[in-house]
Amino acid sequence: MRDNEECEEDLLLIIWSGEHFVKLVAEMKIVDEINKFKRTFSNKRAILVVFGFECYMKKLRKEKCTSKSLSNELKNVTKSDIDLAMIQLQLVCKCNCKILETRADIALHISQVAKSVAETPFRLEKQKLEEKSDWHASSDSKDCVKVDKLGNGLGRLWRQQICQFNNVTLDISEAIAQVYKTPTSLVKAYEVSSSRREGEKLLADIIVKRGRGPSASTRTVGKELSKKVYNLFNSIDPEQHLSQLQGL
């Protein structure tokens, strides 16, 4: 596709006032209205933005007490009705609904949607290239580690993985990685442990060197981190939180 060639996107952005939205909810017509849009625009993926919802709801609450011309449907509409309508839009119409209040919010959202749509072809192209290339553990993040075809970078990736634990410094991860060069070697050590307790204590006494020169000091990995690493590789409980584990 040439740069100046127009391309119709598979996305429909619908903007309604809070008043129009609430009236459709009260009359139970909101699903039909969205489906009408989708039929008109060839079943495009729809995003509904409601503008000034809270402002209208405040106005409606006042009118319930003062206005005699207000319909029974509007008088009886509740927050639960609104929530149910939004769920119906998602499940029945596959339409996401976003409620915004100010013009600035609307402008920002339109800008974000337009940017996302414009970048979609580039993201898809990048995804195709990555799927064709060999596996690698890299991304655009500055904290990610590149691994080449020869495996260069795997050691650093392993050390960085250990650093994902809370309060684990590079000194600690390097100390563990010096003893267990890869995750596989650590898993094998766990497999030959005589008991769960022995496995949980496996890393506890590894010496960690901190600093250099006269101010250098040493410490151990410790029981708490050792237990967390063990459970990361061995726990079969999907609900277990490593942050809740304590030392032995």
Supply φ then ψ for residue 181, to 5 degrees: -65, -30
pLDDT for 79 beyond 90 = no
- Report the percent of the chain where pLDDT is more than 70: 86
For the segment 228-236, the average pLDDT, to the nearest whole number, is 87
pLDDT at 15: 93
pLDDT for 19 beyond 70 = yes
pLDDT at 240: 73
Q: How far is CA 145 from CA 160, 187, 206, 229, in A?
A: 8, 22, 25, 21
pLDDT for 218 beyond 80 = yes
pLDDT for 140 beyond 60 = no
Residues 234, 199: contact at Cβ < 8 Å? yes
pLDDT at 135: 46
Per-residue confidence band for 34, with pLDDT thresholds at 50, 70 and 90: very high
Per-residue confidence band for 6, with pLDDT thresholds at 50, 70 and 90: low
Instruction: Outline where DSSP puts E strands in the chain.
Output: 11-17, 45-51, 96-100, 207-210, 217-220
Give, for 198, the enclosing helix (H) or strand (E): helix 196-200
pLDDT for 215 beyond 80 = no
pLDDT at 136: 46
pLDDT for 7 beyond 80 = no
pLDDT at 188: 93
